[in-house]
Amino acid sequence: MSEPLKVVPSSTKVDTGVEDTGAVASALADILSDTYALVLKTHAYHWNVEGPLFYALHHLTEEQYNNLFAATDVLAERIRALGHLAPMKMADIVETSVIKDAEGTPSAGEMATDLANDHERVASRLRDLVGLAEEKNNDPVTADLAIARAAFHEKAAWMLRSLAAT
């Protein structure tokens, strides 16, 4: 895994009691990168799925990429609320994300399994963010956001794995 994305402080200073806003904002930026990459990958699978799982995976991925896209705004706004700028460079997003392209053209079942693995990786990073935010930096707001996002990713992984098991 690469170094965490370094965020740039904005011109607006904030004092909400969060100990190290830079560390929390950097971790949020990594999650934002993961979320953006997963939106794109999920959408691409949505467009290209074929076979007996087409209908189920096509609809499930649509629900998921819509949720993920909405989450990008929430994550970026939290970074801004901490007094930092959200990532602006595509290269930074690609470099810091744990989401990687699959080799070749996966089958529908392979797509579901690949996405499930990605959701689990993001959920794990979100768990790390909970500890960083709440236990080390007095930031229950970010911890709450991370817990909610982890719950989404865990459910998404479960649904995708269940679909792939058919």
Q: Band of the pLDDT at 7, cuts 50, 70, 90?
A: confident
Which domains are delineated in the chain?
21-164 (1.20.1260.10)
On average, the pLDDT of the chain sits at 94
Asked if residue 158 has pLDDT above 70, the reply is yes
What is the pLDDT at residue 14? 79
Q: How far apart are CA 27 and CA 132, in angstroms?
A: 8
User: For 39-61, what is the mean pLDDT?
Assistant: 97
| DSSP 8-state secondary structure symbol assigned to residue 132 | I
Kindly report, residue by residue over 87-132, the tens digit of the pLDDT. Answer: 999 999 999 999 999 999 999 999 999 999 999 999 999 999 999 9
3-class DSSP assignment, residue 84: strand
What is the pLDDT at residue 15? 82
What is the pLDDT at residue 145? 98
Higher pLDDT residue, 63 or 10? 63
Asked if residue 66 has pLDDT above 70, the reply is yes
What's the half-sphere exposure (Cβ side, CA atoms, 13 Å) at 10? 18
What is the pLDDT at residue 155? 98
pTM higher than 0.85, yes or no?
yes
Tell me the angle at which helices 140-164 and 54-81 cross, rounded to the nearest 10 degrees: 170
What is the pLDDT at residue 44? 98
Asked if residue 1 has pLDDT above 60, the reply is no
Q: How far apart are CA 80 and CA 142, in angstroms?
A: 12
User: For 5-33, what is the mean pLDDT?
Assistant: 86
